A and B are shown apart, each in its own frame.
Chain A
Amino acid sequence: MKLAVVGKGGVGKTTTAAVLARTLARGGTKVVALDCDTNPNLGISLGIGDDETERLIGLRQSLDDGDQQHAPSWDSLVDVFGSDAPDGVRLAVVSAIEKPEPGCPCCGLSPEQLLRTVAFDQRTVIADFEAGTGTLTRLEEGAVDVVVLVVVPTAKSVEVARRAAELVAEKRLGRLVILGNQVRDDVDRALITDAFSEADVVCVPHDERIAEADRQGLAPLDLAPDAEGVRAIATLAGRLTAPA
């Protein structure tokens, strides 16, 4: 199964992707977490720390600068540009680089092409997309099975999510789940459910402990495994892998 996490910047895509990935891995699923963002931060939320996250960014940068050996095959991307994260999740940074070599296994395919063409050994793939709708405009039908669209109760985020939902529907990109994040009260909840009244909406309560994990650069699952917000995302993991 391949699952994409999308939404406006700063809404909690990366936190969501990290909690989903580690929760599924704890349940015995083999999980590859793909950081598709040119500004890759997924490592921090998975719990590998600032330094290792920055090292992985540096590897992609070195590729652009011509100082890094290219990976010899599509699947070896995950070995060369990746890191082991807690609970057995394998993280790989596959963000597009500025000067890709056409046909090269590690940089010639954009993240959206990788998702369409590479099987990743049948592991479950959690792809953390770049903020905005750019990747969705280039994604093709069949590349992913599920799109988790993260939206917070602000006018801007809802507007971006509306546009993203249009793309998912028009291009038949997969099962759409709206994750209403940082919901504080009924007004917040209504803002999201009213905007997506036809869709499958899951609300995650605002949780200061997730904000604290972000400040400290720790995985929410490590700092506050019992936090309400973390538990809500973890519950979603089970639902997503069950048949629709």
Chain B
Amino acid sequence: MRVAFVGKGGAGKSAIAGVVARLLARQGEDVLAVDSDPLPGLSISLGLGVVDAAIPSDAVEEKAEGEPGPRFRLRQGLTAFDALRDYALPAPDGVRFLQFGKTRASGAPLMRSQWAFRQILDGLPPETPTIIGDLPGGTRQPFFGWAGYADTVVVVTPPTSAGLLSARRLAKLAATDAAPNRIVAVISQARDDGDTERVRRRTGLDVVGSVPWDEHVLAAEREGRSVLDAAPDAPAVTAIVTLTERLAARQTTPVLAELQGGGR
């Protein structure tokens, strides 16, 4: 299973993705959690705290002039699996965590690290490991380029007007630009039963999970912990357990025809 989480900033992508990754790992899956946001998020949700470490720039080498292929490739002798062994960080429950690095005011440029990140993901075989990816917030069009691994795109949306407007755009962008096998919606900060129908109607997507608004999540976010550690019995965790089961069940949920055919 390879899933990319997208949504408006603050929708709860990282918080949900972090728990899904750890639940799958607890079931014995080999899980790689990947973060393509230049600002910290997923590492905190996994329980690693703030991690700035970039993939070192010598992980890639520039192709010679006139040589075909991408501008940078993994350095000679370094396979994608070697790179995971060297550059992915161990996270709780056996999850491995990979990011290209985080930007700071006077930090080094991340261009080579970003190339390495992409080359590693492109170099992995189709099924193993399981990948749970967290994309930057918002609807910037090119960002699906970071989700080439995804067979499933999960659009996370709170039941607010702004969240739903973003989710509508993301559903269309994912269908055209990423073309995964399935695109589904997950409601975050859900308040009442009417939210599911509202999200389904506004996004045109099947709603495969509804994570309730939960004080425990708020408390965990304040402390910079995973809600899975801070409050394992919280209603939000129970909802993410159900969501994880549904995602792993691999039902192929067809994307609405209007989204597939309707362009952006």
Q: CA separation between A167 and B10, bound complex, in Å?
A: 21
Q: List, sorted by A's number, 11 A–B pairs whose CB atoms are closer than 8 Å.
A: A9-B9, A9-B10, A10-B137, A38-B139, A44-B165, A132-B137, A153-B222, A163-B104, A166-B104, A166-B105, A217-B161
- A187 to B219 CA separation, bound complex (whole angstroms): 11
Q: Which residues of A contact B159 (CB under 8 A)?
A: 215
Given A132-B39, A154-B222, A187-B222, decide whether A39 and B138 contact each other with a Cβ distance below 8 A.
yes
Residues of B within 8 A of A191 (CB): 222
Question: Could you tell me the distance in whole angstroms from the C-beta of B17 to the nearest C-beta in chain A?
Answer: 13
0/1 interface trace, chain B 140-170, chain A, CB 8 Å (1 if under)? 1110000000000000000111100110010
Count of A interface residues, CB-CB < 8 Å? 44
Q: Which of B11, B138, B159 has the most CB of A within 10 A?
A: B138
Q: Which residues does chain A contribute within 8 Å of B37, judged by CB atoms?
A: 132
Which parts of B1-55 form the interface with A (CB within 8 Å)? 8-11, 14, 37-41, 44, 50
B117 to chain A, nearest CB (A): 18
**Stretch in A49-57, A106-114, A224-232 touching the partner:** A49-57
Asked if A26 lies at the interface with its beta carbon under 8 angstroms from chain B, I say: no
Given A133-B39, A215-B161, also A167-B191 (CB < 8 A):
no
Besides A44-B161, A132-B9, A133-B39, 14 other CB < 8 A contacts? A14-B162, A39-B166, A41-B166, A45-B162, A50-B161, A50-B165, A132-B37, A132-B38, A154-B224, A159-B44, A163-B103, A215-B159, A215-B160, A216-B161
User: Which of B142, B161, B223 counts the most chain A CB atoms within 10 A?
Assistant: B161
A37 touching B161 in the complex, CB below 8 Å, given contacts A9-B8, A155-B222? no
Q: Any chain A CB within 8 A of the CB of B106?
A: yes
A131 x B224 contact (CB < 8 A):
no
Complex Cα gap A166–B103 (Å) = 11
A2 at the B interface (CB under 8 A)? no
A156 in the interface (beta carbon within 8 A): yes
What residues of B have a CB within 8 angstroms of the CB of A25 in the complex?
none
Query: Which secondary structure dominates chain A's binding surface?
Result: helix
Contact B138 A37 (CB under 8 A): yes
From B136, B166, B221, contact of A155 by CB (8 A): B221
B264 close to A (CB within 8 Å): yes
**Closest partner residue, chain B, to A191 (CB atom):** B222
Does A214 reach chain B (CB closer than 8 Å)?
yes
**Per-position 1/0 for B55-92, Cβ under 8 A of A:** 00000000000000000000000000000000000000
Residue numbers in B under 8 Å from A53 (CB-CB): 165
Measured CB to CB, the residues of B under 8 A from A are: 8-11, 14, 37-41, 44, 50, 103-106, 136-142, 159-162, 165-166, 169, 191, 218, 221-224, 264
Q: Which partner residue on chain B sits nearest A214 by CB separation?
A: B160
Residue of B9, B40, B44 near A131 (CB, 8 A) is B9
Q: For B140, what are the chain A residues with a Cβ–Cβ distance below 8 Å?
A: 38-39
Please determine whether B138 and A155 come into contact, CB atoms closer than 8 angstroms: no
Whether the pair A41, B141 counts as a contact (CB closer than 8 A) is no
**Residue from the list A39, A170, A188, A217 in contact with B8, Cβ < 8 A:** A39
A194 CB, min distance to chain B CBs, angstroms? 13
Q: Is the CB of B8 within 8 A of A155?
A: no
- Name the A residues within 8 Å of B39 (CB-CB): 8, 132-133, 159-160, 163
* A54 and B165 contact, CB distance less than 8 A: yes
Q: Is the CB of B222 within 8 A of A131?
A: no
B residues in contact with A216, CB < 8 Å: 161
Q: CB of A76 within 8 A of chain B?
A: no
Interface centre among A39, A170, A187, A188 (most CB of B within 10 A): A39
Complex-state Cα separation, A45 to B14, whole angstroms: 25
Q: Is A235 an interface residue (CB 8 A)?
A: no
Kindly provide the distance from the CB of B178 to the nearest chain A CB, expressed in whole angstroms: 15
Residues of the A chain whose Cβ atoms lie less than 8 Å from the Cβ of B224: 154-156
In the bound complex, residues from chain B placing their C-beta under 8 Å from that of A133 are 38-39, 103
Once A11-B10, A38-B140, A130-B138 are accepted as A-B contacts, the answer to whether A159 and B162 lie under 8 Å apart by CB is no
Interface residues of A in 132-181 (CB under 8 A from B): 132-134, 137, 153-156, 159-160, 163, 166-167, 169-171
Given known contacts A155-B223, A156-B44, A160-B40, is B162 in contact with A214 (CB within 8 Å)? Answer: yes
